[in-house]
Structure 1
């Protein structure tokens, strides 16, 4: 295992899942950062292909997972909405954007 090791807790206070999530995510902008990066990559991919997008928006769903190995990981589902192209174009741009912003 790399990095600092967690220290055992000497005090424990019960929190609701919402409070635990708020504590875990307080001040972190992973969801906004990933979404902004990917949206920028989508726009760049469109520009490189000379595709004019009339609008772009994105939402993100971030999940914190605790694996069987005891490790934590983050995963993201990014949902872009692109105006000015058909579904095939949007899928092409999403694939290209994933190469720019993996």
Structure 2
């Protein structure tokens, strides 16, 4: 039973940061999923794979894992580089690439 503590990256289709402030604790699967012979759906008998705990901070998630005696690994997110460009930069005289249509 090994846990992963992480802060999810925002979806490429969203511009806000609504769910990116929470930290999650998920258990790594102990066994691989296998297809059901009748329906073909993948299934597993590992119940911990369905557990996803949400925390307000990384410290709270780490404290919970330590309190419960769960070995864990913390994955810190990489900060996105902000590139601010205005429309007038397209017509600037000091462009690195020439303007062409």
Structure with greater contact order relative to length (CA < 8 Å, sep ≥ 6)? 2
The answer, yes or no, to whether TM exceeds 0.5 is: no
TM range, normalised to the smaller chain?
under 0.3
Greater fraction of residues in helix? 1
Which structure has the larger Rg?
2
TM-score by length of 2: 0.26
